[in-house]
C-alpha cells in the first residue's frame, strides 16, 4: 500500500502499490493525482491495524465456512446412508 497526500486538497490518500505512477481521482476534491512509487507520508498505524483485523476476520470466516461445509458434508453422507 502506498500512502500519499492529494496535490490539490492535501487529503490523506492511499492506493495499492500496483497503482504506482497512475492517475487516481481524489474522493474529496475530485482532482486526479499521480500515485507516487513509494509512500510520501507515514502510514497511519490505526487503519493498518484495522486493515489487518479486517483480513483476519475474512480469513477466520472463510476457515469457519470451510470447516462447516466439511462437517455438513460428512453429516449428510452419514444420513444419506450407503
Number of residues that bind Zn ion (CB under 5 A): 7
Which grid cell is 64? 469457519
Closest to Zn ion by CB, 27 or 79: 27
Whether 13 and 4 have beta carbons less than 8 Å apart is answered as: yes
**SS3 state at 4:** strand
Q: In this chain, which of 12, 17, 25, 28 binds Zn ion, going by CB under 5 A?
A: 28
Closest to Zn ion by CB, 32 or 37: 32
Q: Strand pairing partners for 14?
A: 3
CB 32 → Zn ion: shortest distance, Å?
9
Which grid cell is 59? 480469513
CB 1 → Zn ion: shortest distance, Å?
18
Q: Would you give the binding string for Zn ion spanning residues 2-21, x where CB under 5 A is met?
A: ----x-xx-x----------
Dist CA 21 CA 37 (whole Å): 6
Amino acid at each position: 500500500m502506498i500512502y500519499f497526500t492529494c496535490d490539490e486538497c492535501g487529503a490523506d490518500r492511499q492506493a495499492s502499490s500496483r497503482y504506482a505512477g497512475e492517475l487516481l481521482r481524489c474522493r474529496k476534491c475530485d482532482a486526479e493525482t499521480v500515485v507516487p512509487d513509494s509512500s510520501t507520508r507515514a502510514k497511519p498505524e490505526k487503519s493498518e491495524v484495522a486493515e489487518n483485523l479486517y483480513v483476519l476476520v475474512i480469513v477466520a470466516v472463510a476457515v469457519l465456512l470451510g470447516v462447516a461445509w466439511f462437517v455438513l458434508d460428512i453429516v449428510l453422507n452419514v444420513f444419506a446412508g450407503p
